[in-house]
Structure 1
Amino acid sequence: MVTSGGVLVTGQALIARYTGDVDADGSLIGDPAAGATKGSEEIKGPINILLAGIDPRDDHTAPLSDSIIVAHIPASMDQIYLFSIPRDLYVEIPAFSKTGFTGTHSKINAAMSYGSSVGNGKHDVKQGFQLLTKTVTKLTGIDDFKSGAIINFGGFKKIVEAMGGVTMTIDMTVKSEHLQPNGKARPRRPECAANNCDHPYIGPQKTYKPGTYHLEAWEALDYVRQRYGLPNSDYDRQRHQQQFIKAMAKQAMSKGVVTNPTKLLSILDAAGDAVTFDGQGHSLIDWGLALKDLNTDNMVSIKLPGGGLFEGTKYLGEQLDPSAQDFFAAVRADRVPEFLLSHPEFVNKNS
């Protein structure tokens, strides 16, 4: 979206050809809102957008949402607040009639899996996203998501490659669980061939040290997916993913992209393999135009406080601090700035 705003006014017909594979025609959130039109002028704040990142999977494998992020844009349409929902958050996943699922309590990343079955052993990630949306609504009370997107990490690497990598600040030392310093996969320990080990890899690790770097696509994607060995595990990873989004948005709005039609179209072409977008009756072009005046420097990264949830000694997952519900109420009331003034600890200092 942030890439498109600067150039779509003069190239809508051409770019529509590239973004056709991205638009999901209302299949993520549900049917388009009554009266929705194709005009960007109809897209007004406050706006809540739900994003889910998934690993590449075939249609015979149930999807899991490895990353869940909500973007809140206030009525003033001049700011973006990003907050992540821990993938291991232990929540109520509501019933879902399309799959006959009766509901349960489980980690939130399983919601897409419970909602994705379409019969004959096949799974549809778009249908799974619908249950994820219901689950996030149950958790946060936010029931007016105006758009949603699924990001396939495998395809998303192509977008970063088309951009020529990304410049971002690394705020702590991070060692890769999966890759060697040359970017090749680390070998597995023989006894872990069946994926039954917590740390199955051996050999030298790619290490990311504090500082500002221009990362290649494989480095950026690897860095933001690490959580093992981090002091705060998935909470640190959430912050890194939000930093990555901000860095990508800032670079997308740079002159090297928005004034370079060749690079821009290669990015949009790559998006067809990486992103499935539901604009609730509005195309990706409409959204790009509606949000073209957003300043990426005004993107605020939010951290939700929480910790482990145990049943005796059994780890069930993560739980949020009760104060998170006050934050969700502020989002629903479009009063996030006021909340953050009273609760500055919710703002990621390294974003």
Structure 2
Amino acid sequence: MKKKKAILITLTVVLAVVLIGVITVYALFKHYYGMMNHETLSETPEIQGSIPEDETEEGTDSPEEEVKDLEDQLKENLAAGSQELEYDHDVYNVLLFGTDSRDDNAKGRSDSMILVSINRKENRITMTSLMRDIYVSIPGVGNNRLNASYAFGGPSLLLQTIEENLGVHIDRYVQVNFFAFMDVIDVLGGIDLDISADEITIMNRYIEELNRITGKDRDVEKLDTSDAGTRHLTGKQALAYCRIRYLKGGEYERTRRQRDVLGIVFQKAKSCSLSELNDLLNALLPDLTTNIPEGEMISLVLESSKLLKYDLESDRIPVEGTYKDMRIDKRAVIGIDFPANRQALQDIMYGTR
């Protein structure tokens, strides 16, 4: 009898400890989840009648026949893409994007867009940059650069535009602002990057702008061109590096820089201590807006130790040999071969390469 009683007491204590642990972990999760901004996407985006004028460039527009050919291809692409979107329940797609607005209350254009695909069949995570200047058909608006879709209709219209033009399903989105990006890198202690003198010259312009926005002295954290080579960069300097576009390779190299930096951040975050991870989450989460519901987030957290072991790959749309730099209405745009890039993106995301 005493033995049975002892076993019962032991089981009760173990159960109590487990329950306390579960409650504590869930309370901790609720704390962090509650730090993020949450938004439910509307099936019918509210479209703005107008948005701030985009930057224009001097020069001659592309020949009318080239523009017409591109716009005809857009119509054909949407007609061909009216079938069901490419989908695989073992692949979870999240659009990560930042905006170019310096005002928290204003919708800027989506300055950078990276489609993060978690492929559980192949144990890999792929980051695919979507070039912001791709000339697309924006539902309810007309033809414009891809990055204008967010300014016209927020995340709902941005996701709808990508899905309809590129033919892939996007499960969720995460929006982050520039300052959270800087804070995360600073919490991680900075990152090492190989930078050229030309890159430093452009970086310093962005550093000056960030100093002005944050009320810092103009030259704080600027670099000297003699610093070219492998350098340890702060969050502000790394952000300036990611924004470089006025060098050889332009927007194409800019997206490559962004993916490189995100890859480094991902690798550093994997080795964070619990204390460092807490600091990282406190810096990042308040500046995130997402539509990932609580249940899905719990599932991602529970499998995080496995996800951190996945191979990390990066790519870009449009792929090489499938696009042409053009100028329409004095704006630089990218005219792409839609069938080729739809197929390429599906291959990248779903592992049919």
TM above 0.5: yes
Distance in 2, matches of 1:278 and 1:171, equals 39
Do 1:82 and 1:302's aligned partners in 2 also have CA atoms closer than 8 Å?
yes
Under a length normalisation based on structure 1, what TM-score does the superposition of the two structures give? 0.67
1: CA distance between counterparts of 2:210 and 2:31? Answer: 39
Query: Against the structure 1 CA distance between its residues 129 and 262, is the aligned structure 2 distance closer, same or farther, given a 3 Å change threshold?
Result: same
Work out whether residues 173 and 210 of structure 1, in 8 Å CA contact, stay in contact via their aligned partners in 2. Answer: no
**Corresponding residue for residue 130 of structure 1:** 156
2:344 to 316, 327, 337: 327
Shift of the 11–281 alpha-carbon distance from structure 1 to 2, 3 Å rule, reads: closer
* 2:152 is the counterpart of 1:114: yes
Which of the numbers 299, 303, 308 marks the counterpart of 1:286? 299
Q: Name the counterpart of 2:56.
A: none
Task: Flag the 1:266–1:329 CA change in 2: closer, same or farther, 3 A.
Answer: closer
What displacement does 1:277 show? 2.2
SS at match of 1:228: coil
Contact 1:78–1:295, Cα closer than 8 Å, also in 2: no
1:11-160 to 2 correspondences below 5 Å: 11-22=25-36, 24=38, 26-27=40-41, 45-58=90-103, 61-76=106-121, 78-95=123-140, 103-115=141-153, 128-143=154-169, 145-160=170-185
Give the C-alpha shift of residue 17 in structure 1: 1.0
Q: State the structure with more CA Rg.
A: 2
Match of 1:177?
A: 202
How far apart are residue 18 of structure 1 and its match? 2.7
Matched, 1:266 2:283: no
Is the 1:167–1:215 Cα contact (8 Å) retained in structure 2?
Answer: yes
- In 1, are the aligned partners of 2:210 and 2:236 still within 8 Å (CA)? no
Distance between the aligned counterparts of 1:318 and 1:17, measured in 2? 43
Task: Provide the TM-score with structure 2 as the length reference.
Answer: 0.67
Q: How far has the Cα of 1:168 moved from its partner? A: 4.4
Q: CA deviation at 1:172?
A: 9.1
Aligned mates of 1:326, 1:269 — CA distance in 2 = 39
Shift of the alpha carbon at 1:58? 3.2
Q: Give distance in 2, aligned partners of 1:44 and 1:289.
A: 18
Query: 1:318 maps to which residue?
Result: 334
CA–CA distance in 1 between the matches of 2:291 and 2:308?
A: 23
**Closer, same or farther: CA 20–157 of 1 in aligned 2, 3 Å:** same
Task: Give the conservation status (yes or no) of the 8 Å contact 1:63–1:113.
Answer: yes
Which is helix-richer, 1 or 2?
2
Q: State whether structure 2 residue 312 is matched by structure 1 residue 299.
A: yes
- Give the gaps of 5 or more residues in structure 2: 1-21, 45-87, 213-221
Count of residues in correspondence between the two structures: 274
Cα distance in 1 for residues equivalent to 2:176 and 2:295: 19
Deviation at 1:87, TM superposition (A): 1.1
Higher RCO, Cα 8 Å, sep 6+: 1
- 8 Å contact kept, 2:96–2:113: yes
Corresponding residue of 1:240: 257
Q: What one-letter code is carried by the residue in structure 1 that aligns with 2:40?
A: G
Q: Any conservation in 2 of the 1:12–1:285 contact (CA below 8 Å)? A: no
Report the AA paired with residue 276 of structure 2.
K
SS of the residue aligned with 1:279? coil
**Identical-residue share of aligned pairs (%):** 24
Q: What 5-or-longer segments of structure 1 have no aligned partner?
A: 1-7, 31-42, 96-102, 116-127, 189-203, 340-351
Contact 1:90–1:108 at 8 Å: present in 2 too?
yes
What amino acid is aligned across from residue 50 of structure 1 in structure 2? Answer: L
Rounded to whole Å, the distance in 1 between the matches of 2:145 and 2:160 is: 14
Aligned pair partner of 2:236 in 218, 224, 249: 218
> What is the distance in 1 between the residues matched to 2:237 and 2:175?
21
Q: Per-residue displacement from partner, 1:242-286 (whole Å, max 9, x unpaired)? A: 1111111100001xx1x2x33221211112332112224535443
Q: 1:165-204 residue pairs with structure 2 within 5 A?
A: 165-168=190-193, 170=195, 174-177=199-202, 179=204, 183-185=207-209
Letter in 1 for 2:259: Q
Change (3 A) 1:11 1:174: farther
Query: What does the per-residue CA deviation read over 1:38-79, in whole Å, with 9 as the maximum and x for residues that have no partner?
Result: xxxxx9621111111113543653321000111122242610
Q: Offset at 1:219?
A: 1.2
Kindly indicate whether the alpha-carbon contact (under 8 Å) linking 1:249 and 1:296 is maintained by their aligned counterparts in 2.
no
Q: 2:189 aligns with which of 164, 175, 183?
A: 164
SS of the aligned residue for 1:53 comes to strand
Distance 1:110 1:248 in 2: 28
